[in-house]
């Protein structure tokens, strides 16, 4: 949903760095402009999204202060310079890169930087969602810590207490509502006690609360929910108070809420039938209000959803829908609605179209794990997957290095060299279709044998591969040297397996090339 144009300032004479930055694809839904110049008074620093330096400018702190808060600043320096950076330079930089890294390293750094930029843009969008949502509803909304201090409130809350947000945020109940503790104790107020109840029970509670506002005494139906930290610890509460002093506007307020929330919404009654939808929902699913009102919600879901994939949170799921011949993915949030007597009165279902986001996530994962040239997995994938869940599946690790590859590049050019690498990968996959091929670097490949196979049978297949490589790729020059490490002993680490296969490969190369060797201590 978030889109726009990004501006990148590249101050560098590092050719590899320039190449990596220019080659990095734009973020989904974004375009970017790369400026190659040194920052000066004419440079509009406040409009830059990314700044990349291969040397430290004298006025680095001033440059940082002149940029917008969301701007990312990268220092790409030689190792010896990185090791001697002062504290101020480290604090200014979002990331520190090694200028002597390989092309693949710099390309990976650029991709990660762009991914970080995307995360920040998404966080910014989430903040906009939150502010726009809570400030578009007439109910009072607030967030408190466990001590009762208010850390965020909406505009309706400010209107009710007659104060600005800076007079509210960071302060407690008595200061905000201008009530003395003695008066609170004598009255029928339960605001503070209800907060304790919510934190003790650890669940959403509904309360009837009387509040003395600027408009006089008001009666609220207040929902309060505990806020939990990443580890599940309750760190405060969020409250939503609906003014029921006058019931005349309740229907109008509900319509206002449905119209202003930028999501598809369904409301289901206590009998399980759909009672209302908003315009976003009707637009998403190409349905009219009359097409769905009165239908049993669960039956409608069975007929309409092709697949439902629950998230780790029970009330969230991704659903697949075919709309006018087009596959769409929606994130669906389900929340129970309680009546005044705290009984379930229906459900509130929110739909957000995440089709593009899910496609982008898959594509980003593919890009992160795959070597673009050969479509083999890359080194990052090898260590990430094999270390976490693949080591026990390995029965053998094969290290393949092409013989005389540099000569092929020098004689026929790098494009032909690329074809050699692509063809090699194809040949390996043809002979080992069920195993994992990794381009380890340059003209080196790792083959992860993930099924049970004897060393004799593996040796026969490797012999076939050597024959195929030598007779397919420039017969007179290209061959392969292969090292094999037995991986069935689970006590051998992944790094040690790579080392053993590498040692065996070099033995094969020293023995005349175009052959394989089994690792022997």
pLDDT in tens, 280-315: 999 999 998 888 889 999 999 999 999 999 988 778
**Predicted pLDDT of residue 250:** 46
Whether pLDDT at 117 is above 70: yes
Q: Which residue intervals of 181-339 are DSSP H helices?
A: 181-186, 191-201, 250-260, 279-285, 289-292, 297-304
To the nearest whole number, what is the mean pLDDT of the chain? 86
**Predicted pLDDT of residue 246:** 44
Residues 515 and 460 sit within 8 Å (Cβ to Cβ): no
pLDDT range class, residue 412, cuts 50, 70, 90: confident
**Predicted pLDDT of residue 180:** 62
- Closest by CA position to 168, among listed 182, 185, 156, 186: 156
pLDDT range class, residue 252, cuts 50, 70, 90: low
Specify the pairing of strand 479-486 against strand 515-518: parallel
* Mean pLDDT lowest among 61-75, 153-167, 245-259, 439-453: 245-259
Whether pLDDT at 186 is above 50: no
List, for residues 344-374, the tens digit of each pLDDT value. 778 889 999 999 988 898 888 888 889 999 9
- Closest by CA position to 505, among listed 462, 470, 453, 469: 462
Whether pLDDT at 205 is above 60: yes
Find the mean pLDDT for residues 76-98. Answer: 93
**Predicted pLDDT of residue 426:** 94
Whether pLDDT at 232 is above 60: yes
User: How far is the C-alpha of 347 from the C-alpha of 349, rounded, in Å?
Assistant: 6
**Predicted pLDDT of residue 341:** 42
pLDDT range class, residue 476, cuts 50, 70, 90: low
Question: Rounded to the nearest 5°, which phi and psi values hold at 64?
Answer: -60, -45
Instruction: Tell me the whole-structure pTM to 2 decimals.
Output: 0.40
**Predicted pLDDT of residue 402:** 94
Find the mean pLDDT for residues 188-210. Answer: 79
């Amino acid at each position: 949903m978030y889109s726009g144009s990004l501006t990148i300032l590249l101050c560098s004479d590092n050719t590899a760095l320039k190449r990596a930055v220019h080659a990095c694809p734009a973020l989904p839904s974004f375009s970017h402009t790369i400026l190659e110049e040194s920052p000066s008074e004419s440079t509009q620093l406040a409009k830059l999204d990314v700044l990349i330096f291969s040397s430290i400018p004298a006025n680095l702190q001033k440059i940082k202060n002149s940029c917008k808060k969301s701007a990312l600043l990268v220092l790409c320096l030689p190792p010896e310079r990185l090791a001697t950076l002062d504290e101020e330079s480290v604090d200014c930089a979002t990331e520190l890169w090694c200028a002597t890294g390989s092309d693949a390293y710099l390309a990976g750094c650029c991709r990660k930087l762009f991914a970080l930029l995307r995360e920040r843009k998404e966080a910014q969008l989430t903040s906009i969602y939150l502010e726009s949502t809570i400030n578009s509803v007439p109910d009072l909304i607030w967030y408190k810590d466990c001590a009762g201090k208010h850390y965020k409130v909406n505009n309706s809350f400010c209107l009710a207490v007659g104060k600005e947000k800076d007079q509210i945020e960071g302060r407690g109940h008595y200061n905000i509502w201008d009530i003395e503790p003695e008066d609170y104790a004598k009255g029928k107020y339960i605001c503070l006690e209800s907060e304790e109840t919510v934190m003790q029970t650890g669940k959403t509670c509904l309360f009837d609360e009387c509040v003395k506002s600027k408009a006089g005494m008001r009666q609220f139906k207040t929902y309060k929910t505990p806020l939990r930290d990443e580890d599940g610890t309750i760190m405060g509460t969020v409250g939503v108070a609906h003014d029921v002093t006058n019931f005349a506007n309740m229907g109008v307020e509900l319509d206002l809420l449905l119209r202003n929330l930028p999501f598809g919404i369904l409301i289901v009654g206590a009998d399980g039938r759909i009672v209302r939808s908003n315009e976003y929902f009707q637009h998403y699913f190409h349905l009219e209000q009359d097409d769905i009102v009165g239908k049993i919600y669960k039956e409608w879901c069975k007929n309409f959803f092709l697949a439902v994939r629950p998230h780790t949170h029970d009330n969230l799921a991704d659903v697949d829908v075919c709309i006018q011949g087009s596959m769409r993915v929606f994130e669906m949030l389900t929340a129970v609605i309680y009546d005044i007597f705290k009984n379930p009165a229906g459900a509130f279902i929110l739909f957000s179209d995440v089709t593009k986001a899910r496609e982008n996530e898959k594509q980003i994962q593919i890009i992160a794990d795959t070597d673009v040239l050969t479509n083999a997995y890359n080194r990052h994938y090898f260590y990430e997957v094999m270390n976490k869940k693949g080591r026990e599946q390995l029965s053998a690790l094969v290290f393949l290095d092409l013989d005389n590859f540099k000569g092929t590049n020098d004689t026929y050019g790098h494009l032909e060299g690329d074809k050699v690498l692509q063809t090699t990968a194809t040949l390996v996959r043809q002979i080992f279709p069920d195993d994992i091929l990794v381009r380890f670097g340059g003209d080196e490949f790792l083959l992860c044998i993930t099924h049970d196979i004897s060393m004799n049978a593996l040796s026969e297949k490797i012999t076939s591969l050597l024959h195929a490589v030598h007779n397919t790729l420039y017969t007179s020059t290209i061959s392969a040297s292969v090292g094999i490490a037995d991986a069935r002993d689970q006590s051998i680490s992944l790094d040690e397996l790579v080392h053993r296969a590498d040692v065996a490969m070099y033995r094969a190369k020293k023995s005349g090339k175009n052959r394989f060797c089994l690792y022997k201590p």
